[in-house]
Amino acid sequence: MTVIAIDGMGGDAAPEAAVAGAFSAANQGIKIFLIGNQDILEKAINELGDFPDSLEIVHASDVIAMDEQVGMQIRNRTDSSIWVGMELVKSKQASAFVSMGNTGAMLAAALLHLGRLPGVQRPGLAIVLPTPGGPSLLIDGGANAESKASHLVQFADMGTVYMKATHGFGSPKVGLLSIGEEASKGSTLIQEAYEKLENDSFINFIGNIEGRDIVTGDCQVIVTDGFTGNNALKIIEGTISMLFDIMRSTAHKSFRSRLGGALLLPSLREVRSNLDYRRYGAAPLLGVEGSVFIGHGRSDAVAVHNAIINAAQADQLGILQQVRTIIASRYT
């Protein structure tokens, strides 16, 4: 039975967003452990309606704030909602743990409490991007500020497994994010990684890609280090937000522009929906000994709901076991 643990106290809009997302997912029949202060969570649930049978509160007295620099000191916060969630996964009471809370604390807790899969050098945060050409996976999205070439090769392997299983790509194209398409372009790290990826028979490596290629959908797995990947994601997020702000402002400048804006509104809503990060809800941390999903701090109830649904789907597809099998066969 799939059981999803959700951090009820994590995120900028917690606990309301986490509770509402968990409430709606539980009403679809998914068994959920909602972690956090019991009194606060019960009050939030009661405001939404009858307590779903498939929703259970797991008390955690401590909350790690979004701006706390916890790091490896997370091991001293065993009453926090993040640590309790990891414990539920480690003890196999939960199939996966989802949090929109402190990313650094989530990464540290996953490494310290769950550990890495055998053979994995570094876990990678796998961000699914909606693009015109279909979903693309960027890995690493910020788990590792510094990486080695061997880490990038494992990111490619794990990303390939994920995209095959969750999105049905028979042989997903893998691209290495660089400053030019030629193999000689990029830093020493990128050049070393290129050579290793070129010799990786498990993946469908198409060579280097540039920043403009991230959003085309032509490449299903985009490999990079966490520093570059996280910055690329924030640039994309900021650009999309800026463009919609400009269109909104322009549409109110005159009667003609307001009329044109009204005519375009249905199409613009469709575009926004297609580019909405909430569609996938949270990103899997691939390479740890358990299913862990980390969401955006500003996530609302829709994002939380979708994160739970996607975490449940990943468990039912056996993503963790597939990653474990591939990594073990190649690196142990």
**Residue-range domain boundaries for the chain:** 1-120+287-319
- The alpha carbon of residue 157 and the mean position of all alpha carbons in its chain are separated, in whole angstroms, by 17
Distances in Å between the Cα of 294 and the Cα atoms of 142, 255, 286 are 11, 44, 11
318 has a pLDDT exceeding 60: yes
CA gap 60, 79 in Å, rounded = 5
15-24, 139-148, 168-177, 270-279, range with the lowest pLDDT: 270-279
* Count of Cβ atoms closer than 10 Å to residue 332 Cβ: 9
Nearest to 328 by CA among 116, 134, 135: 116
Split at pLDDT 50, 70, 90, the class of 1 is confident
Q: Which are the contacts of 33, defined by CB distance < 8 A and separation ≥ 6?
A: 3, 4, 5, 6, 56, 57, 58, 85, 88, 93, 94
Q: How far is CA 69 from CA 72, 73, 106, 256, in A?
A: 9, 9, 11, 51
Question: What is the rounded CA–CA span in Å between residue 154 and residue 160?
Answer: 10
Which of 13, 2, 5, 223 lies closest to 99 in space, CA to CA? Answer: 5
Quote the crossing angle between the two packed helices 301-317 and 319-331, to the nearest 10°: 60
Other residues' Cβ atoms within 10 Å of the Cβ of residue 327:
22
Residues 117 and 124: beta-carbon distance below 8 Å: no
Under a CB-based contact definition with an 8 Å cutoff, are residues 108 and 71 in contact?
yes
Instruction: Write down how long the chain is.
Output: 332
Average pLDDT over residues 47-60: 92
Band of residue 268 on the pLDDT scale cut at 50, 70, 90:
low
pLDDT on residue 270: 61
Q: Are 88 and 94 in contact (CB under 8 A)?
A: yes
Burial classification of residue 288, based on how many CB atoms lie within 10 Å of its CB (0-12 exposed, 13-18 middle, 19 or more buried): buried
How far is residue 256's CA from residue 197's CA, in Å, rounded to a whole number?
53
Q: Give the pLDDT band (50/70/90) at residue 93.
A: very high
Q: Which of 194-212 are b and which e, b meaning 16 or more Cβ less than 10 Å from the residue's Cβ?
A: bebbeebeebbbbbbbeee
Which range has the worst mean pLDDT, 85-89, 135-139, 241-245, 261-265? 261-265
- Which amino acid appears at position 247 of this protein? M
Alpha-carbon distance of 54 to 30, in angstroms, equals: 6
- Residue 243: its pLDDT value, please? 75
Mean pLDDT, the chain, rounded, equals 90
- What is the mean pLDDT of the segment spanning 184-198? 94
CA distance 310 to 287: 17
pLDDT above 70 (res 271)? no
| Stretch 187-199: mean pLDDT | 95
Model confidence over 229-255: pLDDT tens digits?
Answer: 999 988 887 877 787 677 777 767 776
- Bigger pLDDT: 232 or 71? 232
Q: Tens of pLDDT along 5-52?
A: 999 999 999 999 999 999 999 999 999 999 999 999 999 999 998 888
Radius of gyration of the chain (CA): 20
Per residue in 114-152, pLDDT (tens digit) is 999 999 999 999 999 988 888 999 999 999 989 999 999
The dihedral of CA 147, 107, 307, 324: what is its sign? positive
User: How much is the pLDDT for 253?
Assistant: 73
Angle at CA of residue 168, ends 147 and 267, nearest 5°: 95
Range 1-120+287-319 has CATH code 3.60.15.10: no
Sheet bearing 3-7, strands edge to edge: 55-59, 31-36, 3-7, 96-99, 291-295, 282-286, 124-129, 136-139, 221-223, 173-177, 204-209
